A and B are shown apart, each in its own frame.
Chain A
Amino acid sequence: MSGLLRCAGIDIGSRSVELVVMEGETVVHSRIAPSGFDPLASANALLAETHYDRLIATGYGRHLLELAQDVETVTEIKAYARGAGHALPGCRTVLDIGGQDVKAISIGDNGRVVKFEMNDRCAAGSGKFLEIMAHTLGYTLEEFGPAALTAQHDVSINSMCTVFAESEVTSLLHKGASRADIALAVHRSIVKRAVGMVNRVAVTEPLLFAGGGALNPCTRRLLAEALGMEIHVPEAPQMLGALGAARLSP
């Protein structure tokens, strides 16, 4: 065993909890689990599986852990920025499409957050939106992106509100549009919104695309097209927050 400190970061999100442990700049342990109905218990279960010297919590549920065991917390914004520096050295812009949130972060020369945008209140444009639309169209989340890439015709979805978009999808189905075509339209509308957010923080290359949304090949392709630049996706796009928190913990 090395003599380095083991620095842990835990990201307690609305959909999943991620834990990353680092020794120096090396990730030595990483795990992901669903948040379930008791995110604190899920977090504690992950923490019990390993050992660490320092811990920082981030994510929607960070204050749960802070209350339970007095750990330090940082916001997802700061954690993502810090994680991005590891996943893509020199990274200047981060886009994250997560379970309930979408955020765009612009990072300065010194690796610090310069400006950020985050959706308020509703989950429009987030992973949840994709999930509901996939379900309406009878796809699993994993099938959804690849299916959209097989689309043949242009149709469009105009509403970003999940409830309205769902009825748009239904009425398109009733008009005879194909599932794949509608799937593409759903992806387009998500990307359009994400691009708006990225542009508001002033997009600079290189750009890192993270969060569960980055696992989707259709979202990735549309985003690269819309921004006209290369999109970097980290190896484990959902782990970026936990990675950043771990890097912040020494």
Chain B
Amino acid sequence: MSEDYRKMWEGLGLDLAAHDALLSVLGQGYQQLFLSQKNRPAGMGYFDFVMSEVHGLRVKELLDAKAAGRKVIGAFCLFVPEEIVLAADGVMVGLCTGADFATEKAEELLPRNTCALIKSMFGFKLGRVCPYMESCDMIVGENTCDGKKKAYESFGALVDNLYVMDMPQMKSPQGRDLLKSEYYRFLKAVEELTGVTIDAARLKKGIAVVNNKRKAVQRLAKLRAADPAPISGLDALLVNQIFFYDDPVRFTASVNALCDELEQRITKNEGVFAAGTPRILMAGCPMAVPNWKVPAIVEGSGAVIVGEESCIGERGTRTLVKDSAPDLYGLMDAITDRYFTIDCAIFTPNPSRTEHIHEMKSACKADGVIHYGLPFCQPYQMEAIPIEKKLTANGIPVMRLETDYSSEDAGQLKTRVEAFVELLK
């Protein structure tokens, strides 16, 4: 990495030594898991580049955007509408929470039995290793699960720019009203932060950019139905992870270029794994960067992942915002409607998620489903049990896994995953 980056990181107040350690672990993991894969599509080159510059060039772009007067808004959850941020010329970045960092420090503020995602959010802040978090003009929290909503109370003391959004728990008309009013409040907050007044034309533009980005990943998701699979699940997950912090227009173009290549592969019957390889749908908790543990074990056990029913995956991308309304109110309604379709496990009851898993299972021609839950994540762990029952009753093989970001259980996990793959053969 160039000297400029070190200065940039220093300027952001990062702990350089800790940050070096983080980057080296990230780099090694990336090398081992991604670059060593066989028959990778050439189009992954762009995403490899983005990953190699994850704390470099992209952060520099953010800082340049800030210098040009744009505001950077960080989010942890799918419910923060990027459309509104873009409408005000802001930049939205997903703050990744996929690695253990400074866990002991985080545990001074959080109970030990808190999910790894929340601990990671604190660990990255307390360890001063995330240039994205340090670049944000506003960090948006959201009252989803109990863990998160209570965690934001302490997190607010660590950052001076936390904005908390309230969230409904039921998909009722009242729930929708709450979400809509929270989106209006967010729109006001974004306007205040950026000094830009959002009108219908601006919001339409924001909607178009994000819709295009979603359409591109939807296209990718469809291509994975082919057998042999034209792309590995690890690579597809990476694309879905980069969705959250790359420049949206450039990202869209790169995903479409990748899809063009995959289409050619499919015509030529070319794939990353042999035809007939057992196909797995992953469902459950979000897999933020660099949480690649389970997918790496699955694909190292002779199976291919063909879909992610996850926030980093189709839960966040399968629906678009209707952009036909002529005025701001109509568009805000359309945004609310779209986000209200997200079947996060914090909703009760949440039957659409089970339906979605069934739909995806058929669409991506999966042979079995692995439900991934983080320990102490009540919403997803609790939902996993009825989902397993329902799928099993419909003759679909399911395995529930619970694991966090550490590697101490890798041996047992590998045995369980391999045995599941043997069962699908």
Contact = CB atoms under 8 A, between A and B. Distances in A.
B415 A116 contact: no
Contacts of A119: 412
A116 B419 contact: yes
B407 to A, nearest CB: 11
A75 B402 CA distance: 19
Contact of A120 (B392, B412, B422, B423): B412
B4 interface: no
B418 interface: yes
B408 A113 contact: no
Interface in A83-139: 101, 112-116, 118-121
Contacts of B408: 121
A120 B411 contact: no
B416 A60 contact: no
A118 B423 contact: no
A194 B110 CA distance: 33
Interface residues of B, number: 16
Interface in A48-95: 60, 63, 74-78
B416 A74 contact: no
B402 A77 contact: no
Contacts of A63: 414
Interface residues of A, number: 17
Nearest to B404: A121
B409 interface: yes
A87 to B, nearest CB: 19
Which one of A101, A114, A116, A121 has the greatest number of beta carbons of chain B within 10 Å?
Answer: A121
A76 B422 contact: no
B193 interface: no
A143 B289 CA distance: 51
Given A113-B422, A113-B423, A120-B402, A77 B415 contact: yes
Contact of B409 (A60, A77, A116, A120): A120
A120 B422 CA distance: 19
Interface in A155-170: none
B413 interface: yes
Contacts of B422: 74-75, 77-78, 113
A107 to B, nearest CB: 11
A121 B422 CA distance: 21
B402 A118 contact: no
B254 interface: no
B419 A60 contact: no
Interface of B: 392, 401-403, 408-409, 411-416, 418-419, 422-423
27 contacts: A60-B411, A60-B415, A63-B414, A74-B422, A75-B418, A75-B422, A76-B415, A77-B415, A101-B412, A113-B419, A114-B423, A115-B423, A116-B419, A116-B423, A118-B412, A118-B415, A118-B416, A118-B419, A119-B412, A120-B401, A120-B402, A120-B403, A120-B409, A120-B412, A120-B413, A121-B403, A121-B408
Given A75-B419, A76-B415, 5 more contacts: A60-B411, A74-B422, A78-B422, A116-B419, A116-B423
